[in-house]
Amino acid sequence: MKDLPYELELIRSRRKTVSMQVKRPAGSPGRGPVIIVRAPLRMSNADIEKFIESHRKWIEKQAARISQPCDLLTEEEIRELTLQAKKVIPERVAYYAGIAGVTYGRITVRHQRTRWGSCSSKGDLSFNCLLMLAPAEVLDSVVVHELCHRKHMDHSPAFYAEVERVFPGYRLHHGWLKENGDRLLASLPL
């Protein structure tokens, strides 16, 4: 990667397509953004470099956005967000579970640095309290995403079709998290 002053993390797997994200490094406030490239096992280094180079302007835009300083939340603010989430999120889960036609187990709320939500094989759901700082539709998109894992424990086309059925416009609101989520996550103290 020519002339881009960012750390590169290459992850090869059995995937069919290449993807990229620019993230703020966890736990190292002095380091610059990290470019994470997920590529197929057989994709050549030259093709990966071409892919990165073809997205140079996008990389620079994302790096500039996440490099802006953000205010850290206090412990009290995190507690308040958690209490608020424990009131709001179960109501949203119950509402969308009815539309999706699924059941669920326990709901927990945490303040995580890497996840917005998760669904266990037993149906237990976990959500990030920082969702309370996002628009309501974004919170709902995460709730629906996790509930749809009750039908599909993967990210297959069938899974996303179910998500769109339950929550039309999901991709638009999920896009908000892709654009703004790193700044929210960076507001958590180390």
Q: Of 67, 57, 63, 65, which Cα lies nearest the Cα of 8?
A: 63
Position 21 confidence tier, pLDDT thresholds 50, 70, 90: confident
For residue 187, the model assigns a pLDDT of 84
- Would the pLDDT of 185 be above 80? yes
**SS3 string of 113-177?**
CCCCEEECCCCCEEEEHHHHHCCHHHHHHHHHHHHHCCCCCCCCHHHHHHHHHHCCCHHHHHHHH
Q: What is the mean pLDDT of the chain?
A: 89
- Residue range(s) occupied by CATH 3.30.2010.10 in the chain: 75-185
The contacts found for 151-154 with CB under 8 angstroms, 24 or more apart, are 151/100, 151/102, 153/119, 153/121
The reported pLDDT for the residue numbered 27 is 56
Q: Using 50, 70 and 90 to split pLDDT, how confident is the model at 28?
A: low
The yes/no answer on whether domain 75-185 falls in CATH 3.30.2010.10 is yes
Report if pTM > 0.75.
no
Return the structure tokens found at 71: 């205010």
pLDDT on residue 75: 92
Q: Give the C-alpha separation, 168 to 142, whole Å.
A: 13
Give pLDDT tens digits for 129-154. 999 999 999 999 999 999 999 999 99
